[in-house]
A and B are shown apart, each in its own frame.
Chain A
Amino acid sequence: MSFNIPIGPQHPALKEPISLRMTIEGEVITDADIRLGYNHRGIEKLAEERNWIQNIYLMERICGICSHSHATCYVQAVERLMEIAPPKRGMYIRYLVSELERIHSHLLWLGVAGHEAGFDSFFMYVWRDREIVMDLLEMVSGNRVHYAINTVGGVRRDLDETQKARILDGIATLRKRSEYYLHIGANEPSFVARIAGVGLLPKEQAVALCAVGPTARASGWDRDVRKEDPYAVYDELEWQVATADTCDVLGRVVVRIKELLESYNMIEQMIKKLPAGDIAVRAPRKAKPGETVSRYEAPRGENIHYIKANGTEKPERLKVRAPTLGNYAATVFMLKKGFVADIPLIFAAIDPCICCAERVVTLVDGRSGASSLVSLSDLRRRALDRPANALVKGKAEWPF
């Protein structure tokens, strides 16, 4: 017989209000429906009543973990509208802080993935090491989260020699620990048993459902905005996009740890190449009429800001699309064939930032989706003969 279990809006696995409605039979999920709107604060309406500088602080508070990425994406768009070019040193510091934020966000996610799988010691260790990055960020910007280091036309705080040295040796200890976590994440039998072969998203589905960020890269689709649309500093550093082709949660764990290691050597290159000069340039109060789209690679995926200016000091329209929004269609697809025990893991695998995406809608299920999604009866049949497609696990390294 089929249950219909509601998960959320208040649930220990979800740090944020979102409501998942699952119809399950026994332990197999046959139908998924996510209802949002609990987090909708009407930011776009608020943004139209604030001038360019005030909007930076509003943009930062869209999401707590990727606050700097929203602020950077917004500031890039405004600088392009006002046609001002921030100095090189300002850009280097801005993207140094964005890489530090990527490290803190990936470490956070790694711990939460361990917690969802019930591996609390891993969660405690990873979050203990995350404190190193939080101290570095606090030293650079004064606050653990919401750094407010961006301003239109550059950065508000400079880096001196002692801070650079502290950042370098903080990164050194973190690199040692991350290699240890890569070893654990990929080889610890009971943890791998929980994440291998779970939340499957083959590559063509990832492309069809427009998945973004590590979720897409774990299915072998190497889309990274820093490579495609290098906006300032990234084309002067040498690094490569981290991908994996196992298309499951294990792949996402591996991709995120590889991205951590990439961020470490990117930061070291940035600090070595930090040019001299001032860090910001004065920005005019009003922006010329026009429109622009700015893209940024947030820790969770591609972040898009579309801004239209009408010559006054307030934006006429500001549209934000956060990365988690792109992954929701993929999540509903992944949930369809999972176990009840996998729900938090699959959901945490896309590293949902529900407050980012509170403008998101969600796909209901096969019947209402587009032709590319199978109809409900077909899903139920495929879900019920789940053991038949158990060979999926054969490919994944199965410790038992």
Chain B
Amino acid sequence: MAVLRTLLYLLVYPGLLFLFVYGTFSEWYDRKVYARLQNRMGPTHTGRFGLLQPVADFFKLMAKEDVVPDAADKGLFNALPAFGLAVVATSGLLLPVWNFSLAAPGWTSFSGDIIVMLYLLSLPTLVLFLAAWSSTNLFSTIGGARVLTMLFGYEVPLFLAVLSPAVLAGSWRLAEIAAFYQQRPALLLVNVLGFLVALVAVQAKLERTPFDIPHAETEIVGGTFTEYSGKKLALFRLTTDIEMVVASGLLATVFLGGFPGGALLGFASFVIKTLFIIFLLSLIRALTSRIRIDQVVSFAWRVLAPLAVLQLLATILVKGFLS
């Protein structure tokens, strides 16, 4: 029975199938919201309301000829998409969505899994850099360099912002953090500042518009993905979609008080909360223009980092006041 549950857990619910379906759904949702904000219709003619558009994109790319530039070193070039997908999918498993018991920390939810989650979420950025570096196209090398420069910008504020609610809850286990805030919803207001900082930092991690310099279409052509086509490009796009889902899931767990209730009710609150966060991300994407790489780093260190430290200070004060 336990084997069946783990298999189900691995392959179906927060596993590959669910992440694939929910990733494509969130890409459709993001494109639709982005288009509506621009007074446009967005994808409508593939399936009901264009729901199947990302699926159509995915299968079309899978069916396309796969061109490997001879200058690139083949091994790395071919392995990276699959590796990126694997990393993001495993980080999806740590979300406290189902099949965890608060008392006994099993492998699905153990003390310190928030640190593992953050580490796994920052791996795709390195995969992106390696992808850019291994396809020896000039534009992608510049794109790769930009990916890393940005990494130093938003990584520290993101860690600080995400960890401050954990400090208040007094535990490193996602399930316990969520349970803590479910009992005292008033404390969520303390973390609003951290929520904003984390939102902007996740926008930078996912390289979306204000920070989409690494694959800025108008400047360096395709950026990191210039040389990729066919199946590898499909896998990379899927990795970015799933990364968006997992990152917004993480924010929902930490800042919006997790997913109360059993399997069914938990799933409903998971969908609602992540869609709310993806809506906020699309809002940021529609309202701002792309800023330069030096501005990103100066913005991150001059604005995001101090706010995150302020948030940590507030949390420690509240914790002292509570105990």
Instruction: Note whether A and B form a binding pair.
Output: yes
- A: which residues have CB within 8 A of B? 3, 5-6, 11-13, 27, 114-122, 124-125, 128, 188, 190-191, 193-194, 339-344, 400
In the complex, are the beta carbons of A341 and B289 less than 8 A apart? no
Given A118-B209, A119-B290, do A12 and B217 touch, yes or no (CB 8 Å)? Answer: yes
Stretch at the interface among B53-61, B88-96, B172-180, B218-226: B218-226
Given A5-B138, A13-B218, A115-B218, do A339 and B299 touch, yes or no (CB 8 Å)? Answer: no
In the complex, are the beta carbons of B289 and A124 less than 8 A apart? no
**B6 near A: Cβ within 8 Å?**
no
In the assembled complex, how far is the CB of residue A349 from the closest CB belonging to chain B, in whole angstroms? 13
Q: Compute how far the CA of A12 lies from the CA of B223 in the bound complex, rounded to whole angstroms.
A: 12
Q: Which residue of B lies closest to A24 (CB)?
A: B142
**B184 near A: Cβ within 8 Å?**
no
In the complex, are the beta carbons of B219 and A128 less than 8 A apart? no
**B295 near A: Cβ within 8 Å?**
yes
| Contact partner, A128, options B39, B139, B212, Cβ 8 Å | B39
In the complex, are the beta carbons of A194 and B291 less than 8 A apart? yes
In the complex, are the beta carbons of A5 and B38 less than 8 A apart? no
Q: Which B residues, 98 to 129, have Cβ-Cβ distances below 8 Å to chain A?
A: none
Q: Compute how far the CA of A121 lies from the CA of B288 in the bound complex, rounded to whole angstroms.
A: 8
**In the assembled complex, which residues on chain A have CB atoms less than 8 Å from the CB atom of B138?**
3, 5-6
Q: Compute how far the CA of A124 lies from the CA of B138 in the bound complex, rounded to whole angstroms.
A: 31
- B: which residues have CB within 8 A of A? 37-40, 138-139, 142, 209-210, 212-213, 216-221, 286-295, 298-299, 302-303
Sampled A-B contacts (6; CB under 8 Å): A27-B293, A121-B37, A194-B290, A340-B142, A400-B295, A400-B303
In the complex, are the beta carbons of B286 and A121 less than 8 A apart? yes
Q: Compute how far the CA of A125 lies from the CA of B40 in the bound complex, rounded to whole angstroms.
A: 10
Q: Which residue of A lies closest to B292 (CB)?
A: A341
In the complex, are the beta carbons of B219 and A343 less than 8 A apart? yes
Q: Compute how far the CA of A118 lies from the CA of B288 in the bound complex, rounded to whole angstroms.
A: 8
In the complex, are the beta carbons of A340 and B219 less than 8 A apart? yes
In the complex, are the beta carbons of B289 and A194 less than 8 A apart? yes
**In the assembled complex, which residues on chain B have CB atoms less than 8 Å from the CB atom of A119?**
288-290
In the assembled complex, how far is the CB of residue A44 from the closest CB belonging to chain B, in whole angstroms? 33
Q: A5-B138, A27-B293, A118-B209 are in contact. List 13 more A-B contacts (CB 8 A).
A: A3-B138, A3-B142, A27-B294, A121-B38, A125-B38, A128-B39, A194-B290, A339-B293, A340-B142, A340-B220, A341-B219, A344-B219, A400-B298
**In the assembled complex, which residues on chain B have CB atoms less than 8 Å from the CB atom of A342?**
292
In the assembled complex, how far is the CB of residue A174 from the closest CB belonging to chain B, in whole angstroms? 16
**In the assembled complex, which residues on chain A have CB atoms less than 8 Å from the CB atom of B217?**
12
In the complex, are the beta carbons of A125 and B288 less than 8 A apart? no
In the assembled complex, how far is the CB of residue B291 from the closest CB belonging to chain A, in whole angstroms? 6
In the assembled complex, how far is the CB of residue B196 from the closest CB belonging to chain A, in whole angstroms? 16
| Contact partner, B289, options A3, A122, A128, Cβ 8 Å | A122
Q: Which residue of A lies closest to B299 (CB)?
A: A400
Chain A residues touching B, majority SS: helix
Q: Which residue of B lies closest to A118 (CB)?
A: B290
**In the assembled complex, which residues on chain A have CB atoms less than 8 Å from the CB atom of B40?**
124
Q: Compute how far the CA of A121 lies from the CA of B282 in the bound complex, rounded to whole angstroms.
A: 12
In the complex, are the beta carbons of B291 and A5 less than 8 A apart? no
Given A128-B39, A194-B292, do A118 and B216 touch, yes or no (CB 8 Å)? Answer: yes
Q: Compute how far the CA of A341 lies from the CA of B302 in the bound complex, rounded to whole angstroms.
A: 21
Ranked nearest first, the 3 interchain pairs of A and B with the lowest CB-CB distance are A118-B290, A119-B289, A13-B218
| Contact partner, A339, options B37, B289, B292, B298, Cβ 8 Å | B292
Q: Compute how far the CA of A125 lies from the CA of B219 in the bound complex, rounded to whole angstroms.
A: 22
**In the assembled complex, which residues on chain A have CB atoms less than 8 Å from the CB atom of B209?**
118, 120
In the assembled complex, how far is the CB of residue A230 from the closest CB belonging to chain B, in whole angstroms? 39
In the complex, are the beta carbons of B218 and A12 less than 8 A apart? yes
Q: Compute how far the CA of A191 lies from the CA of B289 in the bound complex, rounded to whole angstroms.
A: 6
Q: Compute how far the CA of A190 lies from the CA of B289 in the bound complex, rounded to whole angstroms.
A: 6
Q: Which residue of B lies closest to A400 (CB)?
A: B299
Q: Compute how far the CA of A344 lies from the CA of B292 in the bound complex, rounded to whole angstroms.
A: 12
In the complex, are the beta carbons of A190 and B210 less than 8 A apart? yes
In the complex, are the beta carbons of B294 and A193 less than 8 A apart? no
Given A118-B216, A400-B299, do A5 and B290 touch, yes or no (CB 8 Å)? Answer: no
Q: Compute how far the CA of A319 lies from the CA of B231 in the bound complex, rounded to whole angstroms.
A: 53
In the assembled complex, how far is the CB of residue A6 from the closest CB belonging to chain B, in whole angstroms? 8
**In the assembled complex, which residues on chain B have CB atoms less than 8 Å from the CB atom of A343?**
219
Q: Compute how far the CA of A121 lies from the CA of B299 in the bound complex, rounded to whole angstroms.
A: 22
Q: Which residue of B lies closest to A342 (CB)?
A: B292
Q: Which residue of B lies closest to A113 (CB)?
A: B289
Q: Compute how far the CA of A167 lies from the CA of B135 in the bound complex, rounded to whole angstroms.
A: 54
In the complex, are the beta carbons of A339 and B218 less than 8 A apart? no
Q: Compute how far the CA of A118 lies from the CA of B110 in the bound complex, rounded to whole angstroms.
A: 42
In the assembled complex, how far is the CB of residue A346 from the closest CB belonging to chain B, in whole angstroms? 11
**In the assembled complex, which residues on chain B have CB atoms less than 8 Å from the CB atom of A13?**
218-219
**In the assembled complex, which residues on chain B have CB atoms less than 8 Å from the CB atom of A128?**
39
In the complex, are the beta carbons of A117 and B142 less than 8 A apart? no
**In the assembled complex, which residues on chain A have CB atoms less than 8 Å from the CB atom of B218?**
12-13, 115-116, 118, 344
In the complex, are the beta carbons of B292 and A400 less than 8 A apart? no
Q: Compute how far the CA of A52 lies from the CA of B171 in the bound complex, rounded to whole angstroms.
A: 85
In the complex, are the beta carbons of A193 and B220 less than 8 A apart? no
In the assembled complex, how far is the CB of residue B243 from the closest CB belonging to chain A, in whole angstroms? 21
In the complex, are the beta carbons of A341 and B293 less than 8 A apart? yes
Q: Compute how far the CA of A30 lies from the CA of B218 in the bound complex, rounded to whole angstroms.
A: 20
In the assembled complex, how far is the CB of residue B208 from the closest CB belonging to chain A, in whole angstroms? 11
**In the assembled complex, which residues on chain A have CB atoms less than 8 Å from the CB atom of B221?**
11-12
Given A12-B217, A190-B210, do A118 and B303 touch, yes or no (CB 8 Å)? Answer: no
In the assembled complex, how far is the CB of residue B132 from the closest CB belonging to chain A, in whole angstroms? 14
**In the assembled complex, which residues on chain A have CB atoms less than 8 Å from the CB atom of B216?**
118, 341
**In the assembled complex, which residues on chain B have CB atoms less than 8 Å from the CB atom of A117?**
289-290
Q: Compute how far the CA of A114 lies from the CA of B138 in the bound complex, rounded to whole angstroms.
A: 26
**In the assembled complex, which residues on chain A have CB atoms less than 8 Å from the CB atom of B210?**
190
**In the assembled complex, which residues on chain B have CB atoms less than 8 Å from the CB atom of A188?**
289
| Contact partner, B213, options A5, A124, A193, A341, Cβ 8 Å | A341
Q: Compute how far the CA of A190 lies from the CA of B295 in the bound complex, rounded to whole angstroms.
A: 10
Q: Compute how far the CA of A5 lies from the CA of B221 in the bound complex, rounded to whole angstroms.
A: 11
In the assembled complex, how far is the CB of residue B220 from the closest CB belonging to chain A, in whole angstroms? 7
Q: Compute how far the CA of A119 lies from the CA of B216 in the bound complex, rounded to whole angstroms.
A: 12
Q: Which residue of A lies closest to B220 (CB)?
A: A340
